């Protein structure tokens, strides 16, 4: 009896591992020669529609490009393996208000939504810069259906 259930367990394990490997190799970009991670490292994570920017959003775009885009990517679309898109429902106004952006820039962020690691405090950004960055992010969010 014990031997039978051990066999059953092994069979399940083999099926599970085999099935996983099969799914992995049958997904484009997941073959051993072309691992998904390397292929997509640094790639944008979101498709972002960029509307015409005016006023404070223009200033925010410049500040964002200078201080945030290195990680969060062009148009805040995120970068695979580096940092998340801010054009994402997680960061909608009702969930991450301006205060969350001010706190993130000043004190950094302990990773909690993603697996990219922590965000460090960002040097040389004033609260005014962050206010403009938030204006820019909100315009992009709205243009992409995130309210």
Residues that bind ligand HEC (CB under 6 A): 67-68, 70-72, 83-84, 96, 100-101, 104-105, 109, 111-114, 116-117, 119-120, 122, 125, 130, 133
Spatial separation of the C-alpha atoms in residues 106 and 22, rounded to whole Å: 46
Nearer to ligand HEC (CB atom), residue 30 or residue 103: 103
What's the token pair of residue 131? 């206010």
Q: How far is the CB of 115 from ligand HEC (least distance, A)?
A: 7
Please list, in sequence order, all residues whose beta carbon lies within 8 angstroms of the beta carbon of residue 87, skipping any fewer than 6 positions away.
46, 48, 75, 76, 77, 78, 137, 140, 141, 144, 146
Spatial separation of the C-alpha atoms in residues 20 and 51, rounded to whole Å: 42
Q: How far is the CB of 14 from ligand HEC (least distance, A)?
A: 35
Within 13 Å and on the Cβ side, how many CA atoms surround 61? 13
Nearer to ligand HEC (CB atom), residue 30 or residue 65: 65
Nearer to ligand HEC (CB atom), residue 32 or residue 94: 94
Nearer to ligand HEC (CB atom), residue 53 or residue 122: 122
């Amino acid at each position: 009896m014990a031997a039978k259930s051990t066999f059953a367990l092994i069979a399940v394990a083999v099926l599970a591992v085999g099935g996983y490997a099969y799914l992995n190799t049958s997904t484009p970009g997941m073959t051993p020669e072309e691992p998904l991670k390397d292929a997509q490292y640094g790639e944008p994570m979101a498709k972002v529609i960029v509307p015409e920017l005016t006023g404070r959003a223009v200033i925010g775009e410049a500040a964002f490009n200078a201080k945030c885009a290195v990680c969060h990517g062009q148009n805040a679309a995120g970068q695979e393996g580096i940092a998340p898109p801010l054009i994402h429902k997680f960061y909608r106004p009702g969930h991450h208000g301006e205060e969350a952006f001010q706190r993130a820039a000043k004190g950094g962020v302990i990773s909690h939504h993603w697996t990219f690691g922590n965000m460090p405090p960002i040097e040389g950004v004033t609260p005014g810069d962050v206010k403009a960055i938030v204006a820019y992010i909100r315009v992009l969010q709205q243009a992409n259906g995130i309210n």
